[in-house]
Chains A and B, each alone.
Chain A
Amino acid sequence: MNSRIGLIASNTFREAVRDRVLYNLIAFALLMSGASILVGQISIDIERLVVVNLGLTAVSLFGIVIAIFIGIGLVSKEIDRRTLYTVLSRPVRRWEFIVGKFVGLAGTLIVNTFFMAIGVFGALLYVSHHSQASDRWLFAALYFIVLQFLIITSLALLFSSFSSPLMSAVFAFSLFVVGSFAEDLRGFAGLTTGAVRWLATGAAYLVPNFSALNVITSVAHEQPVSGQLIAYNTAYALIYTTMALCGAVLIFERRNLK
């Protein structure tokens, strides 16, 4: 079982690489270099702030875009192109296929983030010429961004298992935006009454909680990230991802592949 999931995962990774996904790193590198040089010129004591804000935001946004763009096609592309037929005629269980695809894309994003992280730290070193203790919180921020990727990838995969690429992209992107304001949504829901309150509260708790995973601003201001938050967020991300993957498996198990 594991070797099959591993095979599917590595094949998914291979596909992403050969589809030239990693070229986005070039765009990222250009962005960070350009910004660092600009900021280095200005030097009004907020260079670190700008580099961290810009760098982490770019890592997050680039990654979300990649996660959605590739994620929405993970299943639907294989069905449309009928490459799935020969795969499923083999002793591969349908759920193994889903998990393998997920691991492949998640792995791609982690590798991508790793290189980007090097870029961010490089830019930071360039503008400030030294590193400080608070830099370690950047790792926490990056870790949280990776957790975001896991969630959004699993959601894109869920949508891909039953919906067309366009609709999947719309759904996934909407959930990303709404999820970024999830805390506010729960606040809104608390102010409503009656049936609307039930619906709003339900939605507010089901939407992925990206707001807690976004610590870019506080890390930019050199605030620490509490260990408890790291623990809770990790648990939440893993649980949410599992939830979405279970949904994808349930749907995919039943699909007639015409």
Chain B
Amino acid sequence: MKSSRQTTIVAGVLLVACMAASVILLFKIDKMRTGATLEEVLYVSSPKALKRMSMGYDGLLADIYWTRAVQYFGGRHHAGAKDYNLLGPLLEITTTLDPKLIVAYQYGGNFLAPEPPNGAGMPQAAIELIHYGIQHNPDDWHLFYQLGFIYYMELKDYPRAAEAFARGGGIPGAHPWLKLLAAQMAERSQNIQTARMMWATTFETTNDKAIKYNAAAHLRALQADQDITGLEAAVGRYQQVTGHLPTSFGDLVSAGVLRGTPVDPLGNPYKLTRDGRVELRSPDDFPFVTKGLPPGYVPPEAPKVLPTD
């Protein structure tokens, strides 16, 4: 069987070599084409037609488009993009194919509405998306919550936010905080308590990893903001009492103004600067924070907002 053995060896080696080569080529091709498949989204002029053409497999196709949307946003954000033009169309196609894919609406609320770089900056589009969702899922309180969220956070439209929260809160099984949030809208202002409640609600009422991660980042930022406000107030009191700035937090503790060395939500101690300001040790870990940033601080290209960052 000599010739057979020779053929076997040649074919075997060739097979393995080709397998390796094909995988390498795929890496190259994929890199070339990130965006090519997604660009095609722009050519889908009618999502309804696409739904008809999918011949009953629209659920699967919706899942495929949903995955593409998530990868699109995550990939671009990781690369430090400032615009996300295809996110809207991708979510629109996803929800046309499967109007009951609630997580798509939530994603829109969390990432389509906010300003870049952490969102597409299209709150109106997000609102239209959610209205479409409510049309098809009138009993899902998540959607009303999301609607109120966008009105409050991005559009500062408190009456509409209140209305959305109220309607959502009235649905049996809704998260109890919706009614509370509706009431708080009457204050017509942005305050930390309300924001914390909302982000906590978002965190609790979703299973999507990206949304949760994002909400947690917001909550940490709010906590840090609150901490720093309190700490700087304590520094002020110390100065009033002693007439000079403290050199360290230890001074504040000895003076009875503080109880222990303060740590930020990630467990790292805060920094006390010479001029009495409180700063975060690692501001990069707090993408949404408004206080505690060192002077001249430039946020990274891709803030740590998503699990893929």
List residues of chain B with CB within 8 A of the CB of A191: 67, 70-71
List residues of chain B with CB within 8 A of the CB of A250: 8, 11-12, 15
CB of B40 within 8 Å of the partner chain: yes
A239 to B24, CA, bound (A): 11
CB of B28 within 8 Å of the partner chain: yes
A242 to B20, CA, bound (A): 12
Residue of A nearest to B33 (CB): A212
Q: How many residues does chain A have at the interface if contact means C-beta atoms less than 8 Å apart?
A: 36
CB of A174 within 8 Å of the partner chain: no
Within A75-107, the residues touching B (CB, 8 Å) are: 93-95
A209 to B26, CA, bound (A): 8
CB of B21 within 8 Å of the partner chain: yes
Within A204-241, the residues touching B (CB, 8 Å) are: 205-206, 209, 211-212, 217-218, 220-221, 226, 228-229, 232-233, 235-236, 239-240
A94 to B4, CA, bound (A): 9
CB of A187 within 8 Å of the partner chain: yes
Contact, CB under 8 Å: A236 / B12 = no
* B: interface residue count bin: 20 to 34
Contact, CB under 8 Å: A243 / B19 = yes
The answer to whether residues A232 and B29 also contact, given A95-B7, A95-B11, A246-B11 and a CB cut-off of 8 A, is yes
CB of A249 within 8 Å of the partner chain: yes
Report whether over half of chain B's contact residues are helix, strand or loop; otherwise say mixed.
Answer: helix
Of the stretches A4-12, A30-38, A160-168, A178-186, the one at the interface is: A178-186
Contact, CB under 8 Å: A249 / B11 = yes
List residues of chain B with CB within 8 A of the CB of A232: 25, 28-29, 32
List residues of chain A with CB within 8 A of the CB of B12: 246, 250
A186 to B23, CA, bound (A): 12
A210 to B188, CA, bound (A): 55
Contact of B25 among A206, A221, A239 (CB under 8 A): A239
